[in-house]
Structure formats: C-alpha cells, structure tokens
Amino acid sequence: MPEVTIKVDGKTINAKTGEMLLPVLLAAGFDIPHMCYNEEIKPFGACRLCLIEVEVGGRRNVVSSCSYPVTENMEIFTDTESIKKHRRMVAELLLARCPEVEQIQKLAAALGVVSGSRFAKKDEGCILCGLCTRACEQVVGASAISFVGRGPEKEVGTPFLDKSEDCIGCGSCAYICPTQYIEVKEDGDFREFPLWKVKFEFAKCKKCGQNVAPKKQIEFMMKKASIPEGWFDYCQDCREAK
C-alpha cells in the first residue's frame, strides 16, 4: 500500500492508502470516540461514534472513520462543531437505548451530554455493535451467534434464540462486549452463558487441578489448529513450569 501524507486538523501525518482512518488517527494521538471497532475484526460502522469530516477534491463529507479508507489528497477534521454535535446526538441515542450502562453514561458525559437523553428511554444492555457476532465468526470461527429479528426487535442471539449448538464456551463474545451485556457464570466446574442457554464443563489441569478451558472449546481448538496432543492437559502455569 503506497504511503501518502494526509492533513488532520492542520497537522500532517503519514498513512498508507487503503488503511482505515480510525486506527491511523488513534495511532497519531487523535481522540476519536469509538465503540464497535476492534483492530482484529472487520469494521462494521455500527455505533457511529467515530464520525469525522473528510474533504477530498473540495467536497466535505461526514463519515465513520472506522470504515473509511485513506486515499490521496484527503484533509480530515476530527473536532469541528458539527462533528461534536453529531457525536452528542449519537451518544444521546445510545444513552436512550442503554440508560443504565455505565460505559455509555461515561461516554455521553465525556462528549458533553450533561442532561440525559431527549429520546424515549428503553432498558437495553446491548448497543447492537456486532463485536460479539463478528468475533465469534471471524476470530473464533464458531459463528454461534448473530443478529436475529428486525427493526426494534433486532437483537443478538443464537439461531431461533434456542440453545446454541455451535457455542464452544470460549467467552470471546463476553470479553469483547463494550457494555458487558453478555453474562458469564462460573461456579467452579462449569461455565455458563445464560443468553445462549449453554453450560460447559471445564477440563482440569492434570497437575494442579485448576480449570484449563471448557472441554468443548478444547475439542474445537484441537480440530482447528495444529496444537500438540496433550497441550491442554495442563494449565498455562503448570505448562510453563514443566
């Protein structure tokens, strides 16, 4: 990818054409709010928080920086009054959807939403950012969850909102969720995901007896990757101590 220079809020920075603007801007120290972006996962442009203005050939547009690629001769504006207004509006919409989620409350306050949201409140915990579904598909390769339903009924779930056959219990969905909506219960021998209606037994370390990983996750990984036989017989600490 050829290197180009782009102008951002009056400063010149280097970037490669085709790279998405958000990681370039974050790496260069610009403070761009974002909730549905992860560098390991294809961008989706769901939360609309990462809005910036891009000017190319004399035309200026508001775009989501996580899904907008670097091109030659672009000038970027990250902090205009118009962008701040757009972001506050997005924050208000998220706050109306998830009024009890602390991460959203903090984000809205940081963006200047000081007197709550003007929009009708719901009581959701999920902002439909799709990080969980994309991680499950693109990183884990299990594709156990997806968006189900349409319009106001849209939610993240398993096929037919039934017990998941494909979930392996790895917990990537819960780990990546920016609102901590995906509950994981661990009671010693089992890990449970109430939303996906599944519960997994842990494999134990043959040396110290600690939990290693859910047995189903181990089976999945052994089939998928070339991992030496017996690798998961021990927990990481005992493996490193051997």
Regarding 90 and contact with ligand FES (CB under 6 A), the answer is: no
Tokens of 10: 């009056």
227: DSSP letter: P
Question: Which residue, 30 or 193, has its beta carbon nearer to ligand SF4?
Answer: 193
- Which two structure tokens, joined as six digits, stand for 217? 């996750």
Q: Which does 126 bind (CB under 5 to 8 A by kind): ligand SF4, ligand FES, none?
A: ligand SF4
∠ CA 161-166-168, nearest 5°, is 115
Q: Does residue 127 interact with ligand SF4 by CB under 6 A?
A: yes
Question: Residue written as tokens 């493996």?
Answer: 239
Residue of 128, 139, 184, 222 that binds ligand SF4 (CB under 6 A): 128
Task: Give the residue, chosen from 76, 95, 156, 167, that forms a contact with ligand SF4 under the rule CB under 6 A.
Answer: 156
Q: Which stretch binds ligand FES (CB under 6 A): 34-42, 147-155, 177-185, 217-225?
A: 34-42
Q: What Cα–Cα distance (Å) separates residue 191 from each residue in 170, 176, 179?
A: 9, 17, 20
Interface segment toward ligand SF4; rule CB under 6 A; list 57-65, 83-91, 108-116, 179-187: 179-187
Among 53, 67, 52, CA closest to 129: 67
| 127 interface partner picked from ligand SF4, ligand FES, none, CB below 5 to 8 A per type | ligand SF4
**Minimum distance between the CB of residue 144 and ligand SF4, rounded to whole angstroms?**
12
181 lies in the site for ligand SF4, by CB under 6 A = yes
Using the rule CB under 6 A, which residue among 37, 193, 220, 232 binds ligand FES?
37
Give least dist CB 50 to ligand FES, A: 3
Separation CA 52–CA 167 (nearest Å): 37
| Torsion region of 16: left, alpha or beta (phi above 0 gives left; psi -120 to 50 gives alpha) | beta
> What is the size of the binding site for ligand FES (CB under 6 A)?
12
23 interacts with ligand FES by CB under 6 A: no
Name the CA radius of gyration of the chain, rounded: 21
Nearer to ligand FES, 47 or 132 (CB): 47
Is 117 one of the binding residues for ligand FES (CB under 6 A)?
A: no
Query: What is the separation of C-alpha 93 from the centre of its chain, rounded to a whole number of angstroms?
Result: 18
Q: What are the percentages of helix, strand and coil residues in the chain, rounded to 5? A: 35, 20, 45
Bridge pairing between strands 211-214 and 198-204: antiparallel
182 forms part of the interface with ligand SF4 (CB under 6 A): yes
The bridge status of strand 59-64 relative to strand 74-77 is unpaired
Nearer to ligand FES, 62 or 238 (CB): 62
Q: Which residues bind ligand SF4 (CB under 6 A)?
A: 126-132, 156, 176-179, 181-182
Q: Which residues bind ligand FES (CB under 6 A)?
A: 34-37, 45-50, 64, 66
